Structure 1
Amino acid sequence: MPASLLPHRPLGPFSVSAIALGCMGLSHGYGQRPDAAGAKALVHAALDAGVTLFDTAALYGFGANESLLGPLLRAHRARITLASKGGLAGVPDPEDGVLRRSMDGRPEAIRRDCEASLRRLGTEVIDLYYLHRWDRRVPIEESVGAMARLKQEGKIRALGLSEVAAATLRRAQREHPIAALQSEYSLWSRNAELGTLAACKELGIAYVAFSPLGRGFLAGALQDPGSLQAGDLRTRMPRFAPDAFARNRQHLLAPLQALAQRLGCTPAQLALAWLLHQGDQVIALTGTTQAAHLHESLGAAALALDAATLAELDALFAPERVAGERYALAAQREVDTEKFPFESA
């Protein structure tokens, strides 16, 4: 889609492209990563296509993703919105110095993470700064208060939260206006519809939907989860276990592919178009390492779906029809999002 035609949606004080680029996969999470030239080509393709929201985090590659993106985006800072996250980062182990994943929502940890992100990104201010996960040992008001002080100091421009429930979002909003909530939302992950989607609409908060293609499942390219490389986070997710994956391919993906063929689009475009039809507060945060896939995704912004098609997709992907939960139990305990009755506590 030409850059001039990519629609924009409000996000706090910003107007951003309705489809954004999540950059995690360039450094973290999904097995093989592109080399520096490939990452540069992808980021430049996104810029040329009119993408204006770029998302990273201190956690991704334990800072490597921010270090990669900083130089690539530096010359374009005036025309993009740069988002990063803290409160979940790599922290040196006191015994051996090895970086290990640590969740810490204390004000001093949030300040430490933010200042480290600023250095890696090579920027004086982060446009949108999220609390990556709510550390329940710390009241959400304290973590948000620390972020508000960073804003007062000019180190960030807007505040965001990730993977919190509507009640937590409202508590945070009373402490300081929240610009965006980033949580998983797609045809096969519908927890947003249990409260946070409506709360965002009511409060004027953007809903930045990560994994809008179901971590690649909805695009249809993955044939066998057994082919995933060691270290790919999907190898630990119940929906990608062999039996659940096979059922989901048969009962969900195959009908989605047939409907997309009927409509003259790809399954990925259909899934993204459905998401964008869920409200003007929704922004699709899609991730890829390939420019061809990026351009395919951006084409979804031009796809109009009628009420009958939306209803057909809603019924096909009714939450109870999805085999397997979105996270293993240990990871599920780290998030604060609402759960369906049939999901684990």
Structure 2
Amino acid sequence: MPSTESAPRPGGAGTLAGRTVARVGYGAMQLERLHDDRDAAVALLRRAFDLGVDHVDTAQFYGNGFVNEVIRAAVRPGDDVLVVSKVGADPDPGGPVPLRLAQRPEQLRASVEDNLRALGLDRIPLVNLRRADRGPGLVAEGDQVVDLDDQLAVMTALRDEGKIGAIGLSHVTSDALRRALPAGIACVQNAYSLVSREDEDSLELCLAENIAWVPFFPLGGAFPGLPKVTDEPAVQAAARQLGRTPAQIGLAWLLHHAPNVHLIPGTASADHLAGNTSAGDIVLDAETLAALDAVPSRSLGATLG
């Protein structure tokens, strides 16, 4: 029996790229921390499948291909796992940060091919285009400033060729999202959490258009100076009341906030993995939700200056 049938879907079921998957998935970036113990990395991913996770988010620039190789080794015939990757950056292990932007159409195509080879797939079910118009993170300069329409043209061609199944967008503004809608967008990955809700208009647009919302930085605090969900008194109070961790409350709030939200928390710890998946079981009553909703949202741009 496939391992994905051994547990209920964490967070319940949702729709992503035309597939029914658990609303709590797994962001594989942190597997890079197990680079010196590949067997442990494979075992952690297999444990995620045992817990009901059937949506894994990755990229070729995670660990310079190491993470994709782990996914290839961990996913077995019969596992009904949706593997999602992203393009818009390539590995740069010798650089000041381990990735560089790769926004030009020919680079996007090459990145898809790299992902296909590393994952051992003929088709990636969903590929997210990571834009670089704004921070946090790398911002496009020079020849990496590429018109969205040119990028969507190559992504659409790759979909027509059967190399990718669906197109997603990452790090995208609401205006760009509206421009992209005619291309057929399956999901949006933006920085979003209880303490950073400046993209609420984009979330609402996705909800209206039946597009999955897959937040990264779901607990904030990914860069110095960013607010952290776990520091909020209302989050800590809810955690004490429910006997959960503040991180679990932050994840549970996202699932309660909108039905099209899918989570991809990442970790290299089996204990944290279990905690993240069990956050999908948390029920927040109206009073607790009201207290959490009252937490002020801070702009990432304003925070980072």
TM-score of the aligned structures, taking structure 2 as reference length: 0.85
How do 1:115-126 and structure 2 match up within 5 A?
115-126=113-124
Partner of 2:109, secondary structure, is helix
- Describe the shift of the 1:34–1:305 C-alpha distance in structure 2 as closer, same or farther (beyond 3 A): farther
What per-residue deviation string (whole Å, max 9, x for no partner) do you get for residues 4-32 of structure 1?
A: 2531111131111100100001116xxx7
Partner of 2:159: 151
Question: Whole-Å Cα distance in 1 between the matches of residues 158 and 149 of structure 2?
Answer: 14
Question: Whole-Å Cα distance in 1 between the matches of residues 247 and 97 of structure 2?
Answer: 36
Equivalent pairs counted in the alignment come to 289
- Describe the shift of the 1:100–1:5 C-alpha distance in structure 2 as closer, same or farther (beyond 3 A): closer
**More displaced, 98-107 or 197-206?**
98-107
CA contact (8 A) 1:74 1:123 kept: no
Question: Whole-Å Cα distance in 2 between the matches of residues 17 and 178 of structure 1?
Answer: 20
What per-residue deviation string (whole Å, max 9, x for no partner) do you get for residues 181-214 of structure 1?
A: 0112222222222x21111111111001123233
CA RMSD of aligned residues (A): 2.6
Whether 2:194 is the aligned partner of 1:187: answer yes
TM-score of the aligned structures, taking structure 1 as reference length: 0.76
Partner of 2:238: 259
Question: Whole-Å Cα distance in 2 between the matches of residues 268 and 98 of structure 1?
Answer: 30
Correspondent of 1:202 among 208, 222, 226? 208
Question: Whole-Å Cα distance in 1 between the matches of residues 122 and 273 of structure 2?
Answer: 29
Question: Whole-Å Cα distance in 1 between the matches of residues 155 and 50 of structure 2?
Answer: 32
Question: Whole-Å Cα distance in 2 between the matches of residues 297 and 211 of structure 1?
Answer: 14
Partner of 2:145: 137
How do 1:58-77 and structure 2 match up within 5 A?
58-76=60-78
Question: Whole-Å Cα distance in 2 between the matches of residues 292 and 33 of structure 1?
Answer: 19
Structure 1, gaps ≥5 residues long: 216-233, 327-338
Partner of 1:225: none
CA contact (8 A) 1:34 1:289 kept: no
CA shift at 1:39, angstroms? 0.9
Partner of 2:169: 161
CA shift at 1:282, angstroms? 0.5
CA contact (8 A) 2:61 2:90 kept: yes
Question: Whole-Å Cα distance in 1 between the matches of residues 35 and 122 of structure 2?
Answer: 28
Question: Whole-Å Cα distance in 1 between the matches of residues 181 and 39 of structure 2?
Answer: 41
CA contact (8 A) 2:83 2:125 kept: yes
| Letter aligned with residue 126 of structure 1 | I
Question: Whole-Å Cα distance in 2 between the matches of residues 204 and 305 of structure 1?
Answer: 24
Question: Whole-Å Cα distance in 2 between the matches of residues 11 and 73 of structure 1?
Answer: 19
Question: Whole-Å Cα distance in 2 between the matches of residues 76 and 47 of structure 1?
Answer: 12
What per-residue deviation string (whole Å, max 9, x for no partner) do you get for residues 90-147 of structure 1?
A: 2699xxx999632132221111000011101111111110112245722111111111
Partner of 1:149, secondary structure, is helix
- Describe the shift of the 1:198–1:98 C-alpha distance in structure 2 as closer, same or farther (beyond 3 A): closer
| Letter aligned with residue 273 of structure 1 | A
Question: Whole-Å Cα distance in 2 between the matches of residues 34 and 262 of structure 1?
Answer: 39
CA contact (8 A) 2:171 2:189 kept: yes
- Describe the shift of the 1:255–1:100 C-alpha distance in structure 2 as closer, same or farther (beyond 3 A): closer
CA contact (8 A) 2:225 2:303 kept: no
| Letter aligned with residue 41 of structure 1 | A
| Letter aligned with residue 69 of structure 1 | I
Whether 2:224 is the aligned partner of 1:237: answer yes
Correspondent of 2:260 among 261, 281, 288? 281
Which of structure 1's runs of 4+ aligned residues deviate more than 6 A?
Answer: 97-100
Structure 2, gaps ≥5 residues long: 1-5, 133-139
| Identity rate, percent | 36
Partner of 2:190, secondary structure, is strand
Question: Whole-Å Cα distance in 1 between the matches of residues 275 and 92 of structure 2?
Answer: 37
Partner of 1:84: 85
Question: Whole-Å Cα distance in 2 between the matches of residues 38 and 211 of structure 1?
Answer: 25
| Letter aligned with residue 157 of structure 1 | G
Partner of 1:282, secondary structure, is coil
Whether 2:8 is the aligned partner of 1:4: answer yes
Partner of 1:334: none
